[in-house]
Structure 1
């Protein structure tokens, strides 16, 4: 498994990103949208696992406009009020529209790396909504989009992904934590209605007993059994849509 650190030029600066791929020619590409704790070994580990199925996996720094920052320890970051304030500032200062624009540059970077075929997206925590919004913004290229413990997927905000359901041509998978204040049952119902009305091929699955962050190995809520279930769902989604 090979990782290359690359830089991607956008209208707002340079994005640091990791590009992971096996020695074989990648059959398709995946963009992994990070959680709120930034690029770190845990995300590298996840990208390597995806790349092991012969995908080229791009993991960009969504917070690049505010770099350098951190690093943050996922298990303890919110236990310190100063660190929590910094992370919340990064979140509020990096809008969905910013990441949607950036995603066009991410796709161009994949083209430049010789991976010009279909693309899947997957996001965790704050990355979940970004993975879905990217699919809505680039429907001709993104054929699969997944969110795991993503927050505010059907909120009252103008940039909520459910409002763009009609633009999504990808197959969508949403894995939700059993109890998650950032994505309560009423939002799940609203998202399901929007996707079904738009005739989007989708699954919304509730992981009962899991807490927000259960998929990410360095997160305090990590659950090995639940994480393996997520990997199986993700492998199936990408195998059936990306070829």
Structure 2
């Protein structure tokens, strides 16, 4: 497996990204959407694990329009007033529409590596973006996964449940057992939207897991829950990107 740091041209500039490619390359590729703390060694390790399973993996910096920053500490980022305000500001300034547009360039970057089948996975804020990206690129994205993603069926105009009808990908949603950003009523709305749209999907409740459990540098990281997440994620991609 090799890692290269690249810059991807987009309509709004150049997005830095880590590109992880297994030995000999791969026709199967995954875009890994970061959580709110930015690209960092913890996400690199997750990308390396995906690459070791035979996938070319791209980890783009979704906050690239904001200039230089962090990355933030996943354990303290929201606990400290200054960093919390900065993170929230960057999240608000990086809209779902921006990420949907950028996704075309991200998929092209993987395509330049010989990738022909594409999946997307997102964590925390990246979860909703993964589903919206699948809706924006239905003929390219074959599988999309969200883990502890928030606001997947909110009242916002860009909530993913509103575009379920345009999703052609298989969808997996792994939700934290108790998560204020994705309460049971939102889960029910999302399930109904996906079912009515005839999207092949699974929404799974990780009982006892807290928001952020799957990412190793989070304070609430849970090893058993993370391994369960890897089993589900690799099964989704192995079946959908074959």
Q: TM range, normalised to the smaller chain?
A: over 0.9
TM-score, structure 2 as length reference: 0.99
Distance 1:141 1:104 in 2: 9
Partner residue, 2:60: 60
**Runs of 4 or more consecutive aligned structure 1 residues displaced over 4 Å after TM superposition:** none
Measure how far apart 1:164 and its partner are: 0.4
Partner residue, 1:83: 83
Partner residue, 2:37: 37
Partner residue, 1:100: 100
CA RMSD of aligned residues (A): 0.7
Partner residue, 1:22: 22
Distance 2:107 2:241 in 1: 15
TM-score, structure 1 as length reference: 0.98
Partner residue, 2:5: 5
**Does 1:206 pair with 2:205?**
yes
Distance 1:81 1:198 in 2: 41
Distance 1:235 1:110 in 2: 18
Distance 2:198 2:182 in 1: 22
Do the aligned residues in 2 keep the contact of 1:24 with 1:54 (CA within 8 Å)?
no
Partner residue, 1:144: 143
* Equivalent residues, number: 242
Partner residue, 1:241: 240
Distance 2:81 2:15 in 1: 27
Distance 1:176 1:152 in 2: 11
Do the aligned residues in 1 keep the contact of 2:25 with 2:114 (CA within 8 Å)?
no
Measure how far apart 1:71 and its partner are: 2.4
Structure 1 residues 106-121: aligned runs within 5 Å: 106-115=106-115, 117-121=116-120
Partner residue, 2:230: 231
Distance 1:206 1:27 in 2: 31
Partner residue, 2:218: 219
* Unaligned stretches of 5+ residues in structure 2: none
Do the aligned residues in 2 keep the contact of 1:129 with 1:161 (CA within 8 Å)?
yes
Measure how far apart 1:77 and its partner are: 1.0
* Unaligned stretches of 5+ residues in structure 1: none
Q: Deviation string for 1:38-63 (max 9, x for gaps)? A: 01000000000001111100000000
